[in-house]
Structure formats: structure tokens, C-alpha cells
Structure 1
């Protein structure tokens, strides 16, 4: 399981604690995390490929590349992530 965290460094400061909590919970539960900076050309391209249009956003991706769930605009509580992971 892999998580893509789409962030804009320009707008993340106000949400830093929720981002840090999410990162900690993903790490504790052995979910690989990749941060995607949407302010970069590559990051914007990746966001577009997942139809991500608001930030921060989190995408859960299975090992085979299939998208399990995407949360946009607000980061989910870890309980929602656990539910999605449990349905794999």
C-alpha cells in the first residue's frame, strides 16, 4: 500500500499539525508515503493524472497501481484510511 500526499507548500503551514499527524500514522502502520509538491511541474502533472484538484489531498494506491481512495481538500482521520486499507 502506498499513499500519495499532494501538498502545496504555499498553503500547508496552516495545516501543518494535521499533515504531521497523518504522516506519523501512516508510518506507524507501514504505509509507504510519497509527498507530491503540486507547485512543481512534475507534481502538478501527477495531481492531474489522479484528477486531484484541491489540496491537501491524499490518494491510497495498491501495489498493482489501482486507486483505493482519494480524499481532496481535507485530510481524512486515520480511521477512514484504516477502513479503506481493510477493504483491500
Structure 2
């Protein structure tokens, strides 16, 4: 799956294959766009290959993914919680 810039690359079938929940993918306002199951990586995208993300983006993504997220089933549905 490729989304955004830089790109998140992961197993598109992680949900249906029963891989463990990893985290929610969110938009700029923190609204959940999708749920990621299994491992993934973040990279830049060149013309033909994956590339490094720019150095100035490293602090942003380090902070974004520094805390674990948990998928919790509640009476009102599913919730994603960060610890």
C-alpha cells in the first residue's frame, strides 16, 4: 500500500490474513483513514525505486510512530488508543 508522501509500504492483506494490529493511519487532523496490520516501513518514492526520506522528515515520523497504539473492541465499536 502506498499512501501520502513519504509513503507507507505494508501488506495490503494484513487485515484479512490475521496479522497483528500495528497502528492507525491518520490524516492531518488526526482522523483515522485506515488501520494498518502487520509490519510496514516509511520511505521516499523515486522515479523507479524506493528512496530515503528527507532528513528534515525524520523527526516528524520518529515522533509520529514513537508510541504504541492498541486496538480495543468496545460496546460502541472499535477504538484506537495510544500509550
Q: TM-score range by the shorter chain?
A: under 0.3
Higher strand share: 2
- Greater Rg over alpha carbons, structure: 2
Higher helix share: 1
TM-score using structure 1 length = 0.22
